[in-house]
Structure 1
């Protein structure tokens, strides 16, 4: 269970009770990263610890925690250095419910916040897992998916007439810690197989059951097959047939 009181403490520490006093995006690191780092380790003496020519976000009691919001491929060097020595947990934040706020760079005014119709789901981590596929079976590697309600601030600097398409994300401000999911061993990947998938199924069946796109379902199944969660047992047309592996 997430410790919501500790999360509120970390949030206040980074952005204050009234974040407008500090301004958005004025910190040296983005707000989601900074809050989660303080949530998982309030003692700043354990932050930014040099290990094997790299810097760990958190090192405490013989374990490393890395907060990574995207671009897992940039962690390959770190993982190659850290994993032979210590257990490593990668914390991956996922927007649960998100409100968009637009910033006009010229006037500095903020739009009213608008709720995004998109809701975060755990499968969004799989394209990132694919980038570090070579490390996934290492027994020292773990993952924690953190679902956060958040406000996302975007600059009105896009190429479309309303300046929204292609616009830059400025910062994300977490408002609430909703839940956490953990992957601590290969068996934990089984939680990503929808329960209604009995017998054999294709990536198209998986996409429908998981309510995700076909390309995302195919990437997910690539990793689940690699982790021996599912077997490939044939083909149906040009699609592989899968079934959940026994045991």
Structure 2
């Protein structure tokens, strides 16, 4: 599979002198090997990495790096690559967006060899017109890194406690989380699912169709 521009740029930005790039470890291609640390950059679809990460973390320290666009520009190009127009997307990503992907393996966070680093970035999404006999549509053909603005590292389950707002009181539901953090309900549900899988919160009952949660004393 051809490497996308965003992945290639992040790998260049993240690597240090002495790092090994695209090294093979236990039969898997790893983006960056830094001594005893394996660094994997994934721009989307954590589920595709699930088997690989579970295998590597058994014998190695593994860091997963994931970018979230806090600002996105959309560039439309012709079939020949000529720029047609460029605009800023009204959508702005937030750190909580990582839970859209973490639902693939929240339990992996419990492994002391696993860590996650989220990069908040500015990116450009390149779209090209595609058409068939029925309709025409713009499809994304590339993503380009404009700037890495900031990063957040998560070394253990306890680091994820920062996502719980101080104003929330147990027992609480995913809807309470959504209201407190001003998040879409489906994202708050994924957050609660992940935090429960990590052992940060635990289910303590039900309120109607919603599970009730409280902070776990074991984490």
CA contact (8 A) 1:158 1:168 kept: no
Match of 1:119 in 2: 92
* Distance change (3 Å), C-alpha of 1:62 and 1:157: same
Conserved 8 A contact 1:38-1:44? no
Aligned twin of 2:214: 243
**Post-superposition CA distance 1:17-67 (Å, at most 9, x none):** xxxxxxxxxxx5212211211122144861011111111111111110000
In structure 2, what is the Cα distance between the partners aligned to 1:191 and 1:48? 33
Name the SS of the counterpart of 1:117 in structure 2: coil
Q: Determine which structure has the larger strand proportion and give its number.
A: 2
For residue 111 of structure 2, the aligned residue among 130, 134, 138 is 138
Q: Which residue of structure 2 lines up, in the alignment, with residue 212 of structure 1?
A: 183
- Matches of 1:227 and 1:135 in 2, distance apart? 8
Name the CA distance, whole Å, in 2 between partners of 1:192 and 1:162: 42
> 1:68 and 2:42 equivalent?
yes
Preserved contact between residue 90 and residue 142 of structure 1 (Cα < 8 Å): yes
In structure 2, the gaps of 5 or more residues are none
Q: Contact 2:75–2:84 at 8 Å: present in 1 too?
A: yes
**What is the rounded CA distance, in whole Å, between the counterparts of 1:53 and 1:196 in structure 2?**
47
Cα deviation, residue 134, structure 1: 4.3
1:141, distance to aligned residue in structure 2 (A): 0.6
Q: TM-score, normalised by structure 2?
A: 0.89
State the Cα deviation string for residues 135-179 of structure 1 (Å, max 9, x = none): 2211101000001011111112268x9944xx3211122212111
Number of residue equivalences? 216
The reply to whether residue 103 of structure 1 matches residue 77 of structure 2 is: yes
Correspondence for 2:154 among 176, 183, 189:
183
Please tell me whether the aligned partners of residues 10 and 145 of structure 2 are also in contact (alpha carbons under 8 angstroms): no
Describe the shift of the 1:36–1:230 C-alpha distance in structure 2 as closer, same or farther (beyond 3 A). same
- Which of 71, 94, 103 is 2:68 aligned to? 94
Segments of 4+ moved more than 3 angstroms: 42-45, 161-164
Distance (whole Å) between structure 1 residues aligned to residue 60 and residue 186 of structure 2: 34
Is residue 70–residue 93 contact of structure 2 (8 Å, CA) maintained in 1?
yes
Which residue is equivalent to 1:32? 6
User: What is residue 198 of structure 1 aligned with on the other side?
Assistant: 169
Which is further off, 60-69 or 107-116? 107-116
TM-score, structure 1 normalization: 0.80
Return the alpha-carbon distance in structure 1 between the equivalents of residues 166 and 175 of structure 2.
Answer: 15
Query: What RMSD over aligned residues (CA atoms) do the two structures have, in Å?
Result: 2.1
2-structure distance, mates of 1:109, 1:37:
27
Distance 1:32 1:209 in 2: 33
Counterpart position of 1:41: 15
